[in-house]
Amino acid sequence: MIPIASPEVSEEEKRRVEAVLDSGMIADGPEVRTFEDEFAAFCGTEYGVASSNGTTALHTAFEALDIGEGDTVVTSPFSFVASANAIRLAGATPVFADINPDTFNLDPQAVEDIARERDIDAILAVHLYGLPANLEQLQDIADEHDLVLVEDAAQAHGAEYNGMKVGSFGDAACFSFYPTKNMTTGEGGMITTDRDDVAEKAASFANHGRSVDGGYEHIRVGQNYRMTSIAAVIGQVQLNRLPEYVETRRANAALLNRGLADSDLITPVEPNDCRHSYHQYTVRAGDRDKLAEHLEDAGVGTGVYYPTPIHKQPAYEDITCSAPVAEEVANDVLSLPVHPNLSTTDIETITQAVHEYEAQR
């Protein structure tokens, strides 16, 4: 079976973890501070604040930006539920704007319409599947309406918008290091920002509200969202390999594009101002479920991200939302393997299986 994801952990990560275990500094030690600095430098920001996972990174960012009770945040209904959950964890209310059917990301016009209709405090721009959202237009909307702009870059490590790494736009950005992401720490997250006030509040909130000077002075109510040194050293090694991982994903996506060019599938787009990092290679197929079944029989793993828009989830049934595009694409998106461990034979198997399916319909 060709898996939809294939996390890669080398002997170097294992050696680094063993060294941390031998040191006895296995919790929030100096390796975390080093990883924060290195990841911020990679994104081109002044600060990085590590956390225990991508969801806690988002929650922490909202707390650090003073987005909470009584505030509203516009975001995408077509994302993993963590995007909206983090808004609610901070005490704010998510408002869903529809998406662009080609990019699967927030439609700036839909965001603008909502911002003109009601009071909004922030925008959470999700870079779905590794493709940056339209940050220029979303930043313009944020500036016009005096809104906070946060990037949900959980799936977009190494992606670029107008030649700049995602994670360097807006007031803050958040990443996840879950095992299937473009780089991993096992579990973990990161906030990047150029604002020293946001970095200070985030570091404090993620450490039980402690003063960043240390000790037992707690200046705010916080959470235990700390990253471990074990995770951080894995992240340091993975970060060094991230550019190679992204290039391989992009090369695999190019091969898939060529192999599927004459198929009936709608393959991913890459706008001129974006550099896709291909966390997922997601196509649209009118008979998605039957195709997925055929691919499974042919030894090709697939995934559906996501079959139910967030506003259709039971936990969010109290929110009124008009998002027909999100509802439509949720019915026909299918992700195919694109990870760095694919061989050219694997890619040929994937594309051949698609063509075989279409030939027998």
Quick: pLDDT tens for 12-39.
999 999 999 999 889 998 999 999 999 9
Residues 88 and 155 in one domain: yes
Look at the chain and report how many structural domains it folds into.
Answer: 2
Residue where a domain terminates, one of 238, 256, 280: 238
How far apart (Å, rounded) are the C-alpha atoms in residues 72 and 94?
6
Q: Is 190 helix (H, G, I), strand (E, B) or coil?
A: strand
pTM: 0.97
Residues 227 and 250 in one domain: no
Q: Domain holding 154: CATH number?
A: 3.40.640.10
Give the pairing of strands 47-51 and 189-193.
Answer: antiparallel
Residues 207 and 351 in one domain: no
Residue 4 counted as domain residue? no
Are the beta carbons of 42 and 54 closer than 8 angstroms? no
Angle, helix 135-145 to helix 108-117, in steps of 10 degrees: 10
Q: In which domain, by residue range, is 100 found?
A: 11-238
How far apart (Å, rounded) are the C-alpha atoms in residues 98 and 117?
15
Residue 92 counted as domain residue? yes
Q: Domain holding 276: CATH number?
A: 3.90.1150.10
Q: Give the full edge-to-edge strand order of the sheet including 160-161.
A: 164-165, 160-161, 274-275
Residues 233 and 248 in one domain: no
Where residue 361 falls among pLDDT bands split at 50, 70, 90? confident
What Cα–Cα distance (Å) separates residue 260 from each residue in 46, 135, 267, 322? 41, 29, 8, 33
Residues 208 and 174 in one domain: yes
Task: Give me the pLDDT at residue 50, please.
Answer: 98
- Element of type H or E holding 151: strand 148-152
Residues 280 and 224 in one domain: no
Retrieve residue 218's tokens: 């707690």
Residues 186 and 260 in one domain: no
The alpha-carbon radius of gyration of the chain (Å, integer) is 20
Q: What residue type is 193 in one-letter code?
A: T
Residues 229 and 264 in one domain: no
Residue 248 counted as domain residue? yes
Tens digit of each residue's pLDDT (9 = 90 or more) over 305-353: 999 999 999 999 999 999 999 999 999 999 999 999 999 999 999 999 9
Where residue 222 falls among pLDDT bands split at 50, 70, 90? very high
Residues 148 and 276 in one domain: no
Residue 271 counted as domain residue? yes
Residue 3 counted as domain residue? no
Q: 3-state DSSP helix/strand/coil percent for the chain, to nearest 5?
A: 40, 15, 40
Residue where a domain terminates, one of 186, 220, 238: 238
